Amino acid sequence: MPYARLALVAVLPVIASAALYSFSRKTALGRLGKWPQQILYGLVFGVLAIFGTEFGVPISGAIINARDAAPLSAGLIFGAPAGIIAGLIGGVERWLAVYWGAGAKTQLACSAATVIAGFFGAALRKWMFDDKKPAWFYGFAAGLVMEVLHMLMIFFTNMDDVQTAFIYVQSCSVPMILTNSLSVMFAVLAVSILGKEKLRPKNEHKKLSQSFSRWLLLVVLMAFSITSFFTYVLQTRFTDRNSEALLRLNIADVKADIEDASDDNLLRLTRGVAKVLNDAEMITDELLVRISSLSGNDFSEINVIDKRGIITQSTNPAYIGFDMSVGEQSGEFMALLGGTDELVQGYQPISKDGTYMKYAGVALTGRGFVQVGYNAERFQQDIDGRVTGATRNRHVGESGFIIIAGDDWNIVSDPHNKEGQNLDRTGIWIDRATMPEYTRFTSSVYGQDSYFMYALTEGYYIIAVEPVSEVLFSRDLSVYVTVFMEILVFAMLFVLVYFLVKKLVVENIQKINTTLSEITGGNLDVSVDVRTNEEFVSLSDDINTTVVTLKGYIAEAAARIDKELEVAKIIQSSSLPSVFPPYPDRADFDIFAIMDTAKEVGGDFYDFYLLDANRLAFLVADVSGKGITAAMFMMKAKTLIKSYADKEGDVAEILRMTNEALCEGNDAEMFVTCWMGILDFDRNTVAFANAGHNPPLVRRRNGTFEYFKSSPGFVLGGLEGIRYRRGELALDPGDEIFLYTDGVTEATNAQNELYGDSRLRRILNTLGDASADETCRAVKADVDRFVGKAPQFDDITMLHLKLMPKNRITLKPTEESMAEAAAFVENALVYSGVPKKIISKMNIAVDEIYSNIIRYSGAEEADIECAVSDGKILLIFRDNGRPYNPTEKPDPNLTLSAEERDIGGLGFFMVKKIMDSVVYTYREGLNHLTLTKRYTE
């Protein structure tokens, strides 16, 4: 029943831990601040500690209790402050509990132990378990160590009464250690289960600290077992020896006392005899008999020995003539002839008749010596008085004693007042045949298990007795203290090694690992710097050196690759038309394109070329993938399209043939999307074909950009045998078409939004009549603004083609057409809002050039084309007359006087001077003269 109560008290911390843990997770409790929570936990467990004190089980004057479990659990599971608070509450209450009945002897030890339990749990949690709840087996170990400490404290606070303290400890140590350890263990376990932790983490690779602590624990347990075993064995042997020595020593003392007494007695008598003989004029046998018969001198025999060692006179005539030196026993007396005055021998059997005798001898003046012999009866009668009660007050150890009994087992001395009784009444039985002297035997003496040992002397049994319990007490005390100390020492050792391993090895390895994972993650700029001991310094240095070397190699390789990619980029971009304006003598259209690759080389491309004076091919394409492979595929596709376009007029057929060629040996599984158009300037139509590409935007003169959607064909290079549909799109002067790749519409900003079709259309429609160049740059700028700092993922490519409003007149070059030509140009310029002064200059140019055509070219047909855009006037004269390049003509000499001047050649010279550029070409049977003039409004 009392033990059931103890068990119940021990279970309380388990229940409280589980309950508080659950509440803190599921109720408002968990939302309290740290300190209110800690104080609450401290109070609850403090109360549980009080329960532990008040509901303990009294045993042999001590109380078995489960007090320490509460603060220890609080500290380990809930936090350092909670543990300390609970420990203080429990400790103070235990101190005061003395006033209402708790054990006063253990007041200090128990109070202090409870406070320490709180601090101990707090310290373990904080420093050993990184402020986390430990595993359940550590809970058990903590409880064990705590209670062992508690027991030792009981010892050390009761040094003046070790026996009583030992009795406490002996009776309560095992139950208390078990109760408290299990209580803490189950409390931790309960919380672990509620927290759904794995009780046995099944890692394939154990943590270093786990392996260490496991082996350490194993070794510590083994060392503990071995030392405990040896302590036990050693202490048992040692106390056995001690108790034997104690018994033997006591027997020896008593024996010596008895022997001394008998020796003194006989010597005294013998000296008396010697005095009489020395005084006698003559020694006769009769004299000896007379002396022997004197009162008090009840000797067995008196012998007088002469200087030769021969018995000359004796009370026993049979001895006369006996040579003393012959017998072993008698021979000892020969020493009296060599200067020794006195000699006494022990009580011993005499060989002659087997009776026990005791002899003493004293030297006589001038003549040999006298020997006196006692027999047993005479001797006993003589010393009984001295022996009786001699050991009554003698102690062997603390509660052992000495019994002296006569040869006849009659007790003559015993502290229990049993003199006169038979020895067997005490419980001792001596069989001299089987039980040698000075050997320890066990028997129940006076009802108590005891060790005893005996010795015989002068006809007495001297028996020393010591209770077994007294002998074992010192052994048990030693074993308990040693085992407790060992537990403490090994616990400290365990913690120390655990800490050292953690501090010196695990933490450093973790540090190095953290840095290494940063390095393997790509950051080569970090360095490892663990300098706690030589091994780590050298490891750190090695890693750093490796990283530096690696960095060097990477930089070298990167530089090489960069260089190669740079070259590849140059090759790639140089393969696209990049001189703008590409056709300075064509005023009827304006074209511009840009490509911005995401990587050094990309897979996008654009292209345009005049198939003849009347047809312009233009396209935008996007190769799947990026990098070198895409770039190479792009070159192939571009070259194929161009070479087929040179031979084949049908745009659909161009793409079909390109597709077939790309499919051949396309192991890389790459493909290209492409929108290609061929603009016919005569018919003002674009024949187009679409291989899976985004729809272009088309703007009619003075209208807005709209997507021009047509059902696209399959991508190029994807599948053999694909046919493409040829579409037609009317594109009149003043109309525009804008091609792009999905790098534009799918440009992504930091918020992961796409630039999108509508944004593209919107920005295009804000640009009005901007030139192709301006349009492309404005769109690119808008995309860049949208993307912001987000990285560019895809190549951005666009192409803008503008058909200029028609400003062209064809004339028969006659004098009459002069005015028509001048009027045509002037009207076009006025229409475009060109300033009057500039118009004057243009008029001069028309006048000069066209009049020359009329007069000198012999042409049958001439045309004039005039285009104005962006402050730039383009004026082109074509005629089918004789090829004549006026720019090759030398300039006139302007320094001549009026008389010497020739007016010839001055006209063209003036044109050159007032225009920004004059370019002559002859092609397709026509003289082309292109004039440009820039102006500001």
Partner 1 sequence: MKINSILNGKSLTIALEGRLDTTTAPHLEAELKQSLEGITELAFDLTALEYSSSAGLRVLLFAQKTMNRHGRMAVRGANETVMEVFEVTGFADILSIE
DSSP states along 615-662: EEEEEEEEESS-HHHHHHHHHHHHHHHHHHHHH---HHHHHHHHHHHH
Size of the site for partner 1 (CB under 8 A): 25
Reduced 3-state DSSP string for 41-53: HHHHHHHHHHHHH
- The least CB distance from residue 871 to partner 1, in Å, is 18
Stretch that binds partner 1, among 45-53, 366-374, 583-591, 906-914 (CB under 8 A): 906-914
Query: DSSP letter at 916?
Result: S
Regarding 622 and contact with partner 1 (CB under 8 A), the answer is: no
Query: Which residue in the set 328, 788, 898, 937 belongs to the binding site for partner 1 (CB under 8 A)?
Result: 898
- The least CB distance from residue 835 to partner 1, in Å, is 11
Stretch that binds partner 1, among 191-199, 313-321, 748-756, 814-822 (CB under 8 A): 814-822
Task: Name the residue nearer to partner 1 (CB basis): 28 or 894.
Answer: 894
Query: Which residue in the set 425, 503, 913, 934 belongs to the binding site for partner 1 (CB under 8 A)?
Result: 913
Cα end-to-end span (Å), the chain:
115
Q: Cα–Cα distance between 723 and 496 in angstroms, integer? A: 82
3-state secondary structure of 395: strand
Query: Which residue in the set 203, 751, 895, 936 belongs to the binding site for partner 1 (CB under 8 A)?
Result: 895
Regarding 879 and contact with partner 1 (CB under 8 A), the answer is: no
Regarding 848 and contact with partner 1 (CB under 8 A), the answer is: yes
- The least CB distance from residue 839 to partner 1, in Å, is 9
Residue with tokens 């003075």: 702
Regarding 937 and contact with partner 1 (CB under 8 A), the answer is: no
Q: Cα–Cα distance between 219 and 493 in angstroms, integer? A: 11
Say if residues 273 and 372 touch (Cβ distance below 8 Å).
yes
Regarding 886 and contact with partner 1 (CB under 8 A), the answer is: no
3-state secondary structure of 919: strand
Alpha carbon 246 to its chain centroid, in Å, reads: 60
Say if residues 867 and 587 touch (Cβ distance below 8 Å).
yes
- The least CB distance from residue 781 to partner 1, in Å, is 39
Say if residues 498 and 220 touch (Cβ distance below 8 Å).
no
Say if residues 929 and 886 touch (Cβ distance below 8 Å).
yes
Regarding 472 and contact with partner 1 (CB under 8 A), the answer is: no
DSSP states along 314-340: ESSGGGTT-BTTTSHHHHGGGGGGGT-
Say if residues 620 and 824 touch (Cβ distance below 8 Å).
no
Among 668, 665, 685, 669, smallest CA distance to 677 is for 685
List C-alpha distances in Å: 757 to 482, 690, 705, 707, 762.
87, 18, 12, 9, 9
Task: Name the residue nearer to partner 1 (CB basis): 647 or 837.
Answer: 837
Strand partners, 406: 460
Question: Which one-letter amino acid corresponds to residue 46?
Answer: G
Q: Cα–Cα distance between 53 and 114 in angstroms, integer? A: 10
Regarding 610 and contact with partner 1 (CB under 8 A), the answer is: no
List C-alpha distances in Å: 628 to 203, 597, 604.
45, 12, 12
List binders of partner 1 among 38-57 (CB under 8 A). none
Regarding 759 and contact with partner 1 (CB under 8 A), the answer is: no
List C-alpha distances in Å: 650 to 644, 645, 686, 742.
10, 8, 11, 26
- The least CB distance from residue 911 to partner 1, in Å, is 9
Regarding 611 and contact with partner 1 (CB under 8 A), the answer is: no
Task: Name the residue nearer to partner 1 (CB basis): 901 or 934.
Answer: 901
Regarding 421 and contact with partner 1 (CB under 8 A), the answer is: no
Alpha carbon 839 to its chain centroid, in Å, reads: 85
List binders of partner 1 among 503-522 (CB under 8 A). none
Task: Name the residue nearer to partner 1 (CB basis): 232 or 909.
Answer: 909
Residue with tokens 């074209």: 591
Q: Cα–Cα distance between 758 and 769 in angstroms, integer? A: 20
Task: Name the residue nearer to partner 1 (CB basis): 1 or 819.
Answer: 819
Task: Name the residue nearer to partner 1 (CB basis): 498 or 935.
Answer: 935
Angle, helices 376-387/208-279, rounded to nearest 10 degrees:
120
Cite the beta strand spans of 481-614 per DSSP E.
Answer: 589-596, 604-612
Regarding 936 and contact with partner 1 (CB under 8 A), the answer is: no
- The least CB distance from residue 639 to partner 1, in Å, is 48
- The least CB distance from residue 596 to partner 1, in Å, is 44
Q: Cα–Cα distance between 775 and 869 in angstroms, integer? A: 13
Stretch that binds partner 1, among 277-285, 446-454, 782-790, 890-898 (CB under 8 A): 890-898
Task: Name the residue nearer to partner 1 (CB basis): 679 or 845.
Answer: 845
Regarding 909 and contact with partner 1 (CB under 8 A), the answer is: yes
- The least CB distance from residue 784 to partner 1, in Å, is 44
Among 717, 757, 725, smallest CA distance to 738 is for 757
Regarding 282 and contact with partner 1 (CB under 8 A), the answer is: no
Stretch that binds partner 1, among 42-50, 528-536, 774-782, 889-897 (CB under 8 A): 889-897
- The least CB distance from residue 903 to partner 1, in Å, is 4
What string marks each residue from 817 to 846 as x (binds partner 1 by CB under 8 A) or -?
A: -xx--x--------------x--xx-xx--
Regarding 914 and contact with partner 1 (CB under 8 A), the answer is: yes
- The least CB distance from residue 919 to partner 1, in Å, is 19
Regarding 244 and contact with partner 1 (CB under 8 A), the answer is: no
Two structure tokens written together for 695: 């729809």
- The least CB distance from residue 937 to partner 1, in Å, is 17
Task: Name the residue nearer to partner 1 (CB basis): 28 or 898.
Answer: 898
Regarding 814 and contact with partner 1 (CB under 8 A), the answer is: no
Residue numbers at the binding site for partner 1 (CB under 8 A): 818-819, 822, 837, 840-841, 843-844, 847-848, 851, 894-899, 901, 903, 906-907, 909-910, 913-914
